[in-house]
Structure 1
Amino acid sequence: MGTSQPKTITEPARETQVMMEADVVVVGGGTTGPFAAISAGRRGKKVVMIERFGSLGGNLTLGLNTKPSGALLGGLPLEIWNLARTVDGAGKDYMATTKTGGVTIASPCDPEIMKILLTRLCVDAGVQILFETMVSKPVIEDGAVIGVIVEGKAGRQFIAAKTVIDCSADGDIAAQANVPFVMGAGDEDITMQPASMYFTMSNVDVKRLADWARTTDDVPARAIPENEEDLDYGLWLTGFNKTLKQYQDDTGIVLQRDNITLKTAAGIMYVNGTRVLGVNVFDPLQFSQAVVECYQQIEAVTECLRQRVPGFENAKIMQIAPMLGVRETRHIKGEYVLTGEDVFGGKHFEDSICADASAVDIHDPKGADVDFRGMVPYEIPYRCLVPLDVEQLLVAGRCISADHDAHSRSRNMPACMATGQAAGIAAAIAIEKGVTVREVPVAEIQQALRDIKMPLFAEDVV
């Protein structure tokens, strides 16, 4: 018997109202989009940023991730973090020890303060934010993106743009513009890093936890501040493998991870202890089931922590992220595909738009232990932001043109912020020069980045 075809309906043709016209439309206000929007707005461009939730920051804030997996080296990312520090919304950078050595990490932020700061800087830059609005599709004319269709409480509308920057994380706009892409590693096996969901806990005795962590060999990756006053933002612990295994052996309860990560931000304990393998986030049923499964896992992990980890005896679930943490989906194909060899070996690119010192952070697609380690800085060329086969579209964030191995570094927040920043500047300069974003003089993008003290090359990182 043949496979049955899905049922369809026919929608009548209709005219769509033009909501507004912009120089630059940024799709997505998560960890990447605000950096693109602010950067273009500060150059005097009319920018519209479209965000499906009611606040900015995405996985950084709503997702409760809070911590870049690496140092913030300059430019707008460091500016915002330093601003957060002035209002006790972030702590000091710290050196985390891992199995393979040390890695410098920017401290977590307070996600609520970060929502405020990102919004404030967007407004100050003249960015028009559209909250609670979904982008349905790009509109293409003569091979170039001329704007996007949006859906909101006012219905279906069109926003015109000279350039669109896809900061959707999943490359949604690029994919709908028929840009080629690869899912995960591009083979037929389970190839994408798993999804998860952060949660926070209250009533944790953080000092007791830190004192225990110093004496155990079950937390091989760690940052434990010497001063008690630094515990509010400075405690980071990854491991607990033996503890988790023993708990499962004793109780028969199956946990889904070999390890968990704990960290503090604003005195609150953040827990990364869930994992869903092989979920297709583009399938609404699979996506929804992954959320349900994360809730079930959170209950089990919480009970394990209470029973087996000192300091958690009286702890309670405080908050669960209202979004699934998705690590990997589409890799858009651009003018250059960044490879694992490039990011592990520190290949030099003349058109680099940032140096990045993010850690290698691989959550194995088949469920093995997490590979987290520091490495030498690497460079991301502008060509990775320029997709094939369509004009006036840039991509930024974890969907840039990179393979599965390179993605283990380029998906991290410092790189997402930096590529967003570069895309916003590139879009603005292209408008100023009267050229396409594919033809924009990279030297002028680089000079603009130097002006805000963003390191461009690995050798610039001290």
Structure 2
Amino acid sequence: MHFDVVVVGGGSAGVAAAIGAANSGVRTILIEKNPYFGGAATHSSVLTVCGLFAQQEPLLQVVGGVANQFLDTLQRLGAYPGPFRNPGSGNVIVPLDAEATKYALDQCVVQAGVTPRLHCNVTNVVISDGSIQAVQCFDHSGSFEIEAAAFVDASGEGDLTSLAGGKVRFGDDEGQVQAATLVMRIGGVPADASLSRQAFADAVHLAKAAGDTVLTKEKGMAVRLPGSGHILAMFADEVVNGLDSASLTKAEMSARNQAWHYLDVFRSHMPGFEQAYLVQTGPSIGVRETRHVKGHYTLTGEDALNGVRHEDVVARGGWPVEIHQPGQPAVYRQIKDRAYYDIPLRSLDVEGIENLWSAGRIIDCDPVAFASSRVMGTSFGTGHAAGVAAGLYAAIKHADIRDVQEELRRQGAYI
């Protein structure tokens, strides 16, 4: 097959990249291994989009473009209740409905003229003179190649970059990664039941004091989802190498064991949870971190925390630094003035491979900046930028920053 742009990975970054490229006027294919788009939102039930809004008052949206198309589609489906500010932390999220999210992303992709290819795995690349010529793919019918002029790695794991021989690192400078969490969806809880963080912590503490050694985290997060009223609970932490199937297998089975223990604890010690039941786990454990791609500029924690501006800005980061260590409550560090920082194109442009851009949680950043930029809302922004850069390169064999910025603005991005 022949396309202008190939995007690998159909999470928020990949969907935004594919739509951004297609809206630039080039033929684009979006490859995803799962049976639906959405990445962590739909496959790990992380049904809270972080990073579309800064945390300041009054409310400030910092990611637009494709993200706005997605929100508009949700709204038409009656599935966008608007942003929600956590009364405790003050952080602003957008809660999602899983099925509406799947359908909305389908609609956005199709309406942009993107060719979707689900159930498809990239197994290798064809590279020549420092450029990718094609990706080799596999589905149940066998192997095939897709040729293109430009490519976007939105795989979440840096798979395409790694296969192409690009520079990557695993985790932080010491090879450590943030904790992975298996999300639980809980039903049967009345609307007036308290979701106090301290009440959850007290319940888990009682269970641990009684001898339950399975549970990892006392202070997790729980939010009520729109529509269904289900509780989204993030407690079951695991240490996992998200690139390794053996490690993932062990972690997911262990986390499912935790989930059932947590359910018993909540039933026993949380008022209103007496008839609670487990609607779903996962399906996949929520892996926060694996590979990082080497670009032409490493976004730093100082950039993020100080709200630094860059001349080659192509996206904005508005989520605070959020660090997850296994079994520990999340540690937050706010951006200056609870505003936002700029993400430069240099951090998306993959070093050593002329026609490849990265998007989402794999962009070039240090561990502190990563703890902010990895979230789904910001990934909409970096994905959109990577897709536009790839689209322009495919059209004219050059992605000048001014042209990229102009096209992003034309498509409604906030930069």
Asked if the contact 2:2/2:146 (under 8 Å) is kept, the reply is: yes
Counterpart of 1:432 in 2: which secondary structure? helix
Segment drifting more, 326-335 vs 254-263: 254-263
Asked if the contact 1:62/1:111 (under 8 Å) is kept, the reply is: no
Q: CA deviation at 1:254?
A: 3.6
2:318 to 334, 346, 357: 357
What residue is the counterpart of 1:269 in the other structure?
231
Asked if the contact 1:103/1:374 (under 8 Å) is kept, the reply is: no
Asked if the contact 1:21/1:160 (under 8 Å) is kept, the reply is: yes
Asked if the contact 2:4/2:149 (under 8 Å) is kept, the reply is: yes
What residue is the counterpart of 1:423 in the other structure?
386
Q: How does 1:144-183 map to 2 (within 5 A)?
A: 144-183=131-170
The aligned length equals 401
| Deviation per residue, 1:360-411 (Å, 9 max, x gap) | 22102x5432113543311110001111111211110100111111110010
| Deviation per residue, 1:301-333 (Å, 9 max, x gap) | 111111112221101011122212110011111
**TM-score relative to the length of structure 1:** 0.83
Gaps spanning 5+ residues in structure 2: where?
54-60
1:297 aligns with 2:285: no
Q: How does 1:339-354 map to 2 (within 5 A)?
A: 339-354=300-315
Q: How does 1:230-249 map to 2 (within 5 A)?
A: 240-249=200-209
| Deviation per residue, 1:175-217 (Å, 9 max, x gap) | 12121122111215xx20011211211111121225xx3xxx7
1:206 aligns with 2:188: no
Asked if the contact 2:296/2:347 (under 8 Å) is kept, the reply is: yes
**In structure 2, C-alpha distance between the alignment counterparts of 1:140 and 1:48, rounded to whole Å:** 19
**Greater than 6 Å deviation, 4+ residue runs:** none
Q: CA deviation at 1:251?
A: 4.1
* Residues 23 and 132 of structure 1, relative CA distance in 2, 3 Å threshold: same
What residue is the counterpart of 1:445 in the other structure?
404
Q: How does 1:277-356 map to 2 (within 5 A)?
A: 277=239, 279-356=240-317
What residue is the counterpart of 1:78 in the other structure?
68
Q: CA deviation at 1:452?
A: 3.5
**In structure 2, C-alpha distance between the alignment counterparts of 1:450 and 1:89, rounded to whole Å:** 27
**TM-score relative to the length of structure 2:** 0.92
Structure with the bigger RCO (C-alpha within 8 Å, sep 6+) is 2
Q: Which has the larger radius of gyration?
A: 1
**In structure 2, C-alpha distance between the alignment counterparts of 1:357 and 1:143, rounded to whole Å:** 34
**In structure 2, C-alpha distance between the alignment counterparts of 1:443 and 1:329, rounded to whole Å:** 32
Asked if the contact 2:355/2:393 (under 8 Å) is kept, the reply is: no
Asked if the contact 2:321/2:371 (under 8 Å) is kept, the reply is: yes
1:58 to 39, 44, 62: 39
**In structure 1, C-alpha distance between the alignment counterparts of 2:386 and 2:124, rounded to whole Å:** 20
What residue is the counterpart of 1:368 in the other structure?
328
Percent identical pairs in the alignment equals: 29
* Residues 94 and 281 of structure 1, relative CA distance in 2, 3 Å threshold: closer
What residue is the counterpart of 1:132 in the other structure?
119
1:30 to 5, 11, 22: 11
**In structure 1, C-alpha distance between the alignment counterparts of 2:327 and 2:258, rounded to whole Å:** 15
**In structure 1, C-alpha distance between the alignment counterparts of 2:135 and 2:75, rounded to whole Å:** 36
CA-based RMSD of the aligned residues comes to 1.7
Counterpart of 1:196 in 2: which secondary structure? strand
**In structure 2, C-alpha distance between the alignment counterparts of 1:271 and 1:384, rounded to whole Å:** 33
What residue is the counterpart of 2:181 in the other structure?
196
Segment drifting more, 200-209 vs 128-137: 200-209
Aligned partner of 1:187: which letter? Answer: E
**In structure 2, C-alpha distance between the alignment counterparts of 1:95 and 1:369, rounded to whole Å:** 19
What residue is the counterpart of 1:44 in the other structure?
25
**In structure 2, C-alpha distance between the alignment counterparts of 1:307 and 1:144, rounded to whole Å:** 59
**In structure 1, C-alpha distance between the alignment counterparts of 2:298 and 2:36, rounded to whole Å:** 32
**In structure 1, C-alpha distance between the alignment counterparts of 2:214 and 2:184, rounded to whole Å:** 19
